[in-house]
Amino acid sequence: MPYLVEILLPVAHGRRSRTNLDLVRDELTAEFGGVTLQINSPAEGLWEDGGDVERDRIVMAEVMIDDIDYSWWSSYRGKLEARFRQEKIVIRATSIERL
């Protein structure tokens, strides 16, 4: 069963943010042969943290894969958390049926 892997990435205005997104694009394309970045309309992520509401502007990176290498994804998530200076980067996988 193939999977759709979605990575929620925080963005900020500026060159550094675009450079980080370009690096993710290049890495995922090299590893999986392609990627979709939804960057034209960043979404707004909200969550409560100790009574305060935190906000992120996020874009989604998506790749379709046949098998999940949990070790690779865990390592990559750690790299992304350091690169984007985040406590947690959300990476999720959904089973899909190609039509």
pLDDT per residue, tens digit, the chain (99 aa), is 699 999 999 887 566 678 899 999 999 999 999 999 988 766 777 778 788 887 778 899 999 999 999 999 999 999 999 999 999 999 999 999 988
Q: What is the pTM of this model?
A: 0.84
Q: What is d(CA 40, CA 63) in angstroms, rounded to the nearest whole number?
A: 18
Question: Are β-strands 90-95 and 3-11 bridged in parallel, bridged antiparallel, or unpaired?
Answer: antiparallel
